[in-house]
Structure 1
Amino acid sequence: MGSRRQFLVGTVGIGFGLLAPAHATLAAKVIVPDKLCTLSRSLIRTLSDGNAISVKREWQIGFSAVSGGFVVSGRQIAVSVDAPPSLAGLAQMEAKRTETNLFPIELDASGLLRAGVDPLTPASMDNALAKAEDFLAGQAPSDDLKAAARTFAASLDQRAAGLLSLLPRDLFFPRDKDWREAKTLALPGQQAGEMTIDFAATTDPDSGLLVRADRTISTRIGSSSRRSSEVWSLTV
């Protein structure tokens, strides 16, 4: 990010708890740019037929200093949608939609979202998989367990997509830059199940600011698998 003027927020050393798995690293420093940037987000969902739908949005954003932290303001400047022909109508509607609820975003002095959440954690995975086990355990022996598993796989995928849509608290200043968590699911009928979360991020070495972050949730029950992923990037 060269010689641009920047606001130095400070050096922080904190324990991150549920921000990421226990092996999270500490952020050395947090610096916000003093000029407009471009933030982009690509959401990709694999469909049951093997096709995928992706939506990419871009916003022009700026950081403003306030008491105890910062406010990130922004406006949508571009959107693109890639979907199979069968979803052309949905893709057209999504392409016309302007995301107005994302901003403003409040950051504390350490660069974390004040109102953010930490959706991608081992605890959230355990909760989702516990519900899957309860559902499948309640099926009568005469039920078609494979069909039930496929039905719940779709439900679990929807839950995973919902988790992925929530903003992590360390969006702009990723703390732990490379981690993976996998949980297995005990299923009747000798079927296997699993939910996996993968995260990888790159940051500017001088400021700690996000460059790119990839988050992916994969779910599998029996032979049915789904995948939801997102990519955030910030260009200064």
Structure 2
Amino acid sequence: MSGPDNGLRAALLAGCAFALAPSASAENVARAPSTAAFSAPAGPIVLTRELRRTIGKSKQIITRRSYEIRFVPEGTGWRVDGTLISSEVDAPAELAELAALEKARKDVGLFPLTLDSQGLIVAQRAPTDAVATDKARIVANKAVEKIDMTSTDKTVAKQMIQTIATQSQASGGNWPIDLFRPPADPVIDVRNIPLPGGNQGRVTVTMQARSNPEGGLRHFDRRILTEIGGTSRLSEESWSMTGEP
């Protein structure tokens, strides 16, 4: 295929890659420093992370992973220890094999996280599993061919799913630095994407949170909207923290 279709395909792939990249976050937006000390929960609590990725026009992959975590004083800050306690994946039937791979992932090496005295994440690790990632890429290529969508959408979907598969192995390396001490006001970061032919796309990252009475995490939402050539792709993720397991 040549001409406009190739340009659109390249643009869509560029947008998907940008939207799913770790740099596509609002973490570098300036925030007013907090003057209050961070108040960490005293005992074990449950942290749940949910991701929603849209492929094609209506297909979604939704993953929910819950961890039992503890805040341990360390130096002037905190160490967050955690263990995966549940994993759920909702996906189209055509992606059942890929969903099974994601559900079986153990997140080994994700914890501990390191927090400073204000409760901001200053060190987080990104566990990887090269064998699982390669297998997910093969499965993704086969699965997308079964989905009823245009050839352009299939190409975009393959790239997106493969990127998700790769980044799911390193999902912990892209958590918001102020996840446990969320900002009081919504944060919006808009970035332009240079595209072939001198055109521009746009990625809008929106972060909004609700805090508990102590100023810590209750619920945190991050939305990444990629807009290119009249098309839009949405990626959503959320974190929530509840009481004892």
| 1:36 alignment partner in structure 2 | 44
Provide the rounded CA distance (Å) in 2 between the counterparts of 1:190 and 1:115: 38
Residue 74 of structure 1 corresponds to 82
Q: Where do residues 1-236 of structure 1 align in structure 2 (5 Å cutoff)?
A: 19-22=27-30, 24-29=31-36, 30-116=38-124, 158=163, 165=171, 166-175=174-183, 177-185=185-193, 193-205=201-213, 207-236=214-243
> Once the 2 structures are TM-superposed, how far is the Cα of residue 179 of structure 1 from its aligned partner?
1.9
Pair 1:33–1:194, CA change in 2 (3 A): same
SS at match of 1:169: coil
Distance of 1:27 and 1:77 partners within structure 2? 32
What is the one-letter code of the residue matched to 2:179?
L
- State the shift of 1:192 in Å: 5.9
8 Å Cα contact 1:27-1:175 kept in structure 2: no
Distance in 1 separating the partners of 2:124 and 2:68 = 20
Q: What 5-or-longer segments of structure 2 have no aligned partner?
A: 1-25, 126-151
Q: Secondary structure at the match of 2:40?
A: strand
Matched residue SS, 2:121: coil
Structure 1, unaligned runs of 5 or more: 1-17, 118-146
TM-score, normalised by the number of residues in structure 1: 0.67
Larger Rg: 1
Matched position secondary structure for 1:33: coil
CA distance in 2, matches of 1:224, 1:101: 37
Q: CA deviation at 1:76?
A: 0.8
Q: CA RMSD, aligned part only?
A: 3.2
**1:215, CA displacement in angstroms?**
0.3
Question: Take 1:114 and 1:183, find their aligned partners in 2: how far apart are those partners?
Answer: 24
TM-score normalized with structure 2 length: 0.65
2-side partners of 1:204 and 1:25: how far apart?
19
Cα gap change, 1:106 to 1:191, in 2 (>3 Å)? closer
> What is the count of residue pairs matched by the alignment?
184
> RCO greater where, 1 or 2, for CA within 8 Å and sep 6 or more?
2
SS in 1 for 2:237: strand
